[in-house]
Structure 1
Amino acid sequence: MTAAAMLALALLLDAVLGEPKWLWSRITHPAVLMGRLVGFLDRKLNTGPSRRTNGVIAAAVLILCGFVAGKLLSLPGALVEILAAAFLIAQRSLTEHVAAVAKGLQRSLAEGRGAVAMIVSRDTAEMTAPQAARSAIESGAENMSDGVIAPAFWFLIAGLPGLIIYKMVNTADSMIGYRNDRYEDFGWASARLDDLLNLIPARLTGLLIALAGGQLRHWGAIAADARQHRSPNAGWPEAAMARALGTSLAGPRSYDGQMRDFPWVNAGGTKSANAETITRSVAILWQAWALALALTVAIAAVF
């Protein structure tokens, strides 16, 4: 069975099952195991005067572990590969978490804040309803790339080892890829490697969202907005989603009590997002997923 055929089945399996609580309440999720490994490397190597070098070593260890794990899991055959890929692709859980913010906002601002706090790292306690809605939409667009398209892309390119290596690096970036005193040096290698591995998938995600939202004719404006984003990759899906919704995204936000003046994406759009806007964004995420699935099936048919 080709990688594309296995990927198509994995995408469908994830869409149907998502993250079954009955399974992950009994065994440890692979993403949790990856996080534990990153945490172990952080504790053991993030010390002394050679933190950047140690961070490079940590990234190399993660790549090696990802490669070995992928190779071992590939040995039993296609069924295990499909299941492993489905476990590491997160379309259904992503959309459920984003939709939960809309449901929370419909009940109360406090519930909306609580739901969005589950999926973003910025300060949420003082968010207005539009800020909470925009945060959920941004998270959905960015994580469509990180959690769905990028894993699928690397599975097509390098099989299960490629997917697991990507998830290892992406997990490390989410844990140690911060520009602060503790991680500026140690997390440098993982953060830069994550930027590299997401270079194509982020732009592909932006293209899929633009197609799903009927905004391909505005690709030049989407690209211009994306280049102004603080992230070299996250701006592409966010800019495409902003255009599809007619909403401004990104912009100023607070981290650890400090307001940061980031530029707006689609600055001319409305800033009054709400629960209905989130619901529309979830529909676009599923339409983009369907396009990705159709592309995968087409590749499987050709090859």
Structure 2
Amino acid sequence: MSTACVLVGAMLLDAALGEPRWLWQRLPHPAVLMGRVIGLADARFNTGEASRLKGALVVVGLVIGAMVLGKVIGLFGWLPELIIAAILLAQRSLVDHVQEVGDGLRLSLGDGRRMVARIVSRDTAHMDQSAVARSAIESGAENLSDGVIAPAFWFLIGGLPGLLVYKVVNTADSMIGYRSEKYLHFGWAAARLDDVLNWVPARITAALIATSHAGLSQWQAIKADARLHRSPNAGWPEAAMARALGISLAGPRAYDGKMQSFPFVNPEGRKELGPDDVDAACGALWRSWGITLAAALILALF
């Protein structure tokens, strides 16, 4: 079975089942296992001098290990590949988590804050309704790229080894790729390689969001907005989502009690947001997924 056929099956399986809680209460999720390995490497090697070199060697080891594991699993045929790919795609769980924020806001501001705190790292205790909705929409746009489009892209490019390499690097970036004193040097390689692996998928994600709404007529505006973001990649899907929904995203927010003045993406867009905007974002996530599925089907046929 071709890689594209396996991807189609994986996308449909993920959309149907998402993340079965009963399963992951009994077994460790592959991403959790990756996190444990990275945590052990962090504890063992993130000490003393030459931390940048040590961090780079850890990333090389993770990449080689992921490639070998993918090759070994591939020896057992397409079915294990399909199941693992479905597990590592996150469309259904992504939409569910974003939708929970909108549903929470309809109950109360406090419920919305509690739901959004599950998916963002910024301070949520003093957010108003617009900030809660904005945070959920930003998270949905960014994670469409990181959790769905990038894994699918690297699965098509490199099969299961490609997917596992992407996921372990992305997990490493989320754990050690910070510009803090502890990780500035040790996590440098993980952060830079994650930027490289997400460069193309982030722009594909922006194109998918744009195409599923007003088309690519606003591409130059999306490109300009994306440059306002502190990340070389995350700004693309966020800028496309902002334009698609006619809203402003990003802007000032607090981390660890300190307010940071990030610029707005699509600053002329509507800034008063609510649960209906979260619903619209979830619809945009499914539209983009649908175009991706259609593209995978075409590749599978030809």
Give yes or no for TM over 0.5: yes
The residue aligned with 1:131 is 131
1:64 maps to what in 2?
64
Task: Give the equivalent residue in structure 2 for 1:143.
Answer: 143
Contact 1:94 1:143 in 2 (8 A): yes
How far apart in 2 are the matches of 1:182 and 1:272?
A: 38
* Partner Cα separation in structure 2 for residue 214 and residue 92 of structure 1: 24
Q: Equivalent residues in 2 for 1:162-241 (5 A)?
A: 162-241=162-241
- How many angstroms apart in 2 are the aligned matches of 1:283 and 1:98? 11
Matched residue SS, 1:281:
helix
State the Cα distance separating 1:233 from its structure 2 match: 0.3
Structure 1 residues 186-226: Cα deviation after superposition (integer angstroms, max 9, x where no partner): 11000000000000000000000001122421011001101
Measure the CA separation in 1 of the matches of 2:232 and 2:293. Answer: 26
Aligned residue in 2 for 1:93:
93
> 1:281-296 residue pairs with structure 2 within 5 A?
281-296=281-296
Instruction: Give the equivalent residue in structure 1 for 2:73.
Output: 73
SS at match of 1:97: helix
Determine the C-alpha separation between the residues in 1 that align with 2:125 and 2:15. Answer: 32
The 3-state SS of whatever aligns with 2:182 is: coil
Question: What is the CA distance between 1:272 and its match in structure 2?
Answer: 0.8
Distance 2:261 2:68 in 1: 42
3-state SS in 1 of match to 2:227: helix
TM-score, normalization: structure 1?
A: 0.98
Q: Distance in 2 between matches of 1:23 and 1:68?
A: 26
Describe the superposition over 1:134-153 as per-residue Cα deviations: whole angstroms up to 9, x where unpaired.
00000000000000000000
Which 5+ residue runs of structure 2 have no aligned equivalent?
A: none
C-alpha distance in 2, partners of 1:109/1:73?
Answer: 46
CA distance in structure 1 between the aligned counterparts of 2:42 and 2:273, rounded to whole angstroms: 38
Do residues 301 (structure 1) and 301 (structure 2) align? yes
Letter of the 1:273 partner, please give it: L
- TM superposition outliers: structure 1 runs of 4+ over 4 Å: none
1:20 to 2:3 alignment:
no
Aligned residue-pair number? 302
What is the CA-CA distance between 1:21 and the residue it aligns to? 1.3
Cα-to-partner distance string for 1:266-290 (whole Å, 9 max, x where unaligned): 0100111110000000001000000
Measured in 1, the distance between the counterparts of 2:83 and 2:94 equals: 18
In the alignment, the residues of structure 1 paired with residue 202 and residue 148 of structure 2 have an alpha-carbon distance, to the nearest angstrom, of: 10
Question: Match for 2:296: what amino acid?
Answer: T
- 8 A contact 1:215–1:243 mirrored in 2: no
* Cα distance in structure 2, aligned partners of 1:128 and 1:59: 40
User: 1:14, CA displacement in angstroms?
Assistant: 0.2
* Match in the other structure for 1:114: 114
CA distance, structure 1, for counterparts of residue 68 and residue 258 of structure 2 = 41
SS of residue matched to 1:269: coil
Report percent identity of matched pairs: 58
1:250: Cα distance to partner?
Answer: 0.7
Partner SS state of residue 119, structure 1: coil
User: Could you tell me how far 1:53 is from its partner in structure 2?
Assistant: 0.7
